[in-house]
A and B are shown apart, each in its own frame.
Chain A
């Protein structure tokens, strides 16, 4: 399969601040997840791909055409921005219809496409409400709607799942997977690994402006799994619970919280630890109030992987 999006030695500086460094990618049809902590350079890369920024060094092409100052390319590309920003004093319908007309569609075509897209993102019922009255999830769906309404072959979505409720996320994930089946090229950015995992197996890990790893999500998952996890358990009997973990090979370290009601466990295998924890809770009837994974965020994993 030939690459639709190609970047060659792409770099971007904001003055003296590095935004992106030496990124060479070939993105093929299907879903590609762009994963990285906040400030990693994901949005910079997506803005370079959509011509909103000019590369300091390197080049970007989509369908073999340069991106910057090539507006005709946007007949084939749709972009969903990260910011939760709209023309607040119009309705969702007016917003979508207006943007579709900017694509050159006639009024009738634009109406048909807007109607179809609002049905797809489940906003048709609320189409006549002012955007400023929309919930966060509805606004996210409207942003996605404007990116897909003109049937683009390439869809670039910057943090599309952010702020959505679980049901909304599930629907959007299903929709994005449909795009893949239709042979489109989709890039989705997120800082949350499970969101990306739910969408695709092809991911690009980006950190501090550099592509840190690229490939199958399973390989990345294995890297991440080798990173010790901290899990905090809040319960009435932390000492008793700690004694039950003492001889388990998956437990590296046990610490007690200063409040005397919590136990922090360091483990190398999170999945095995959680099955052990559940069986111990049931078997020994231990009342657990809360379980949190203290470093279950990408930044901690990246810090670990880059050896901080």
Chain B
């Protein structure tokens, strides 16, 4: 069996398992929270005292998008990424995979791909629904659709990069969720606001480099950045982060002896 065939087969099996898991059902609901927020805003605009609120695209870019970028994709990437290896060890199902005629790297990469498609779909649907709710009166404007496409691209890149990082975490750390939470809401949320080069040690810095310049207004602090990296370079760095951590995860998974005992 070729490597790509093995990868495809692992992908199908893991995607099937991922789709059926309770975690997916729970996160699917959770990823629609911004849609609820969008609906509330829209109601407030239409019937309440919110007639003075900014228009739909502004709200979408500065509230919904940031909610996805700084919270939802981190949580999704953390839980799905760490699961790639760790759930097989914790669930003691690892022998079923490693005693098949599959390269171990195909197991990691196939599961990673399957476990990223699921949150990307969740985020995509939620983002689209929020966009429609906030912009349904101006959907004819191509500029708005381009913004939606760009934001979806940024979130996808974020999921892939964070997912690879957490896959690496899950391949060697026992308490990978706890460490991942510290990284996500400690490191990432603090370092990005540091001046100079320090902010470049946060993945979110490169994701924000694709976003428009900070808007003025009360939510502008959420997209605050001092020195954005050029989009081409940011894309390259995100690619290197993803490939590097996936490579390390494959290496560790192939070499490490996992202890399945209690």
Closest to B256 in A: A54
Inter-chain CA distance A94–B21, complex, in Å, is 14
B257 touches A71 (CB 8 A): no
Q: Which residues of chain A come closer than 8 Å to B22, judged between CB atoms?
A: 89
- Within B93-109, the residues touching A (CB, 8 Å) are 93-104
B260 touches A83 (CB 8 A): yes
B257 touches A54 (CB 8 A): yes
Which of A45-53, A176-184, A258-266, A287-295 contacts its partner? A45-53
Known contacts A90-B17, A94-B16; is-contact A99 B96 (Cβ 8 Å): yes
* Shortest distance between the CB of A71 and any CB in chain B (Å): 5
- In the complex, which of the residues A14, A77, A89 contacts B21, with contact meaning CB atoms closer than 8 Å? A89
Q: Which residues of chain B come closer than 8 Å to A50, judged between CB atoms?
A: 95, 99
Closest to A102 in B: B100
Inter-chain CA distance A52–B16, complex, in Å, is 25
Size bin of chain A's contact surface: 20 to 34
Known contacts A98-B13, A102-B9, A104-B1; is-contact A71 B92 (Cβ 8 Å): no
Inter-chain CA distance A188–B60, complex, in Å, is 62
B254: interface (CB < 8 Å): yes
A85 touches B92 (CB 8 A): yes
Q: Which residues of chain B come closer than 8 Å to A73, judged between CB atoms?
A: 101
B12: interface (CB < 8 Å): yes
Inter-chain CA distance A23–B32, complex, in Å, is 57
Q: Which residues of chain A come closer than 8 Å to B101, judged between CB atoms?
A: 71-75, 102-104
- Within A102-124, the residues touching B (CB, 8 Å) are 102-104
* Shortest distance between the CB of B93 and any CB in chain A (Å): 5
Specify which of A74, A79, A85, A146 lies most central, judged by the most chain B CB atoms within 10 Å of its CB: A85
Interface size on B, residues (CB 8 A): 30
Q: What sequence of 0s and 1s flags, for each residue 75-89 of chain A, a beta carbon within 8 Å of any chain B beta carbon?
A: 101110101011101
Closest to B98 in A: A52
Q: Which residues of chain B come closer than 8 Å to A75, judged between CB atoms?
A: 101
B20 touches A52 (CB 8 A): no
Q: What sequence of 0s and 1s flags, for each residue 21-37 of chain B, a beta carbon within 8 Å of any chain A beta carbon?
A: 11000000000000000
B91: interface (CB < 8 Å): yes
- Within B135-153, the residues touching A (CB, 8 Å) are none
* Shortest distance between the CB of B14 and any CB in chain A (Å): 9
Closest to A54 in B: B257
- In the complex, which of the residues A51, A77, A81, A104 contacts B5, with contact meaning CB atoms closer than 8 Å? A104
Q: Which residues of chain A come closer than 8 Å to B9, judged between CB atoms?
A: 101-102, 104
Q: What sequence of 0s and 1s flags, for each residue 235-262 of chain B, a beta carbon within 8 Å of any chain A beta carbon?
A: 0000000000000000000100101100
- In the complex, which of the residues A51, A71, A72, A146 contacts B96, with contact meaning CB atoms closer than 8 Å? A146
A102 touches B13 (CB 8 A): yes
Inter-chain CA distance A158–B254, complex, in Å, is 23
* Shortest distance between the CB of B157 and any CB in chain A (Å): 30
B69: interface (CB < 8 Å): no
Closest to B260 in A: A83
Q: Which residues of chain A come closer than 8 Å to B20, judged between CB atoms?
A: 89-90
B10: interface (CB < 8 Å): yes
Known contacts A90-B20, A101-B9; is-contact A79 B254 (Cβ 8 Å): no
* Shortest distance between the CB of A100 and any CB in chain B (Å): 10
- Within A39-60, the residues touching B (CB, 8 Å) are 50-54
* Shortest distance between the CB of B111 and any CB in chain A (Å): 12
* Shortest distance between the CB of A281 and any CB in chain B (Å): 44
Q: Which residues of chain A come closer than 8 Å to B21, judged between CB atoms?
A: 89
A81 touches B100 (CB 8 A): no
Q: Which residues of chain B come closer than 8 Å to A16, judged between CB atoms?
A: none
- Within A239-265, the residues touching B (CB, 8 Å) are none
With A74-B102, A75-B101, A87-B17 given, name 12 new contacts (CB 8 A).
A51-B99, A52-B95, A53-B257, A74-B100, A83-B92, A85-B92, A99-B96, A101-B9, A102-B100, A102-B101, A102-B102, A104-B101
| Residue contacts A-B, CB under 8 angstroms, 10 given | A50-B99, A51-B99, A52-B99, A86-B93, A87-B17, A89-B17, A99-B100, A101-B12, A101-B13, A146-B96
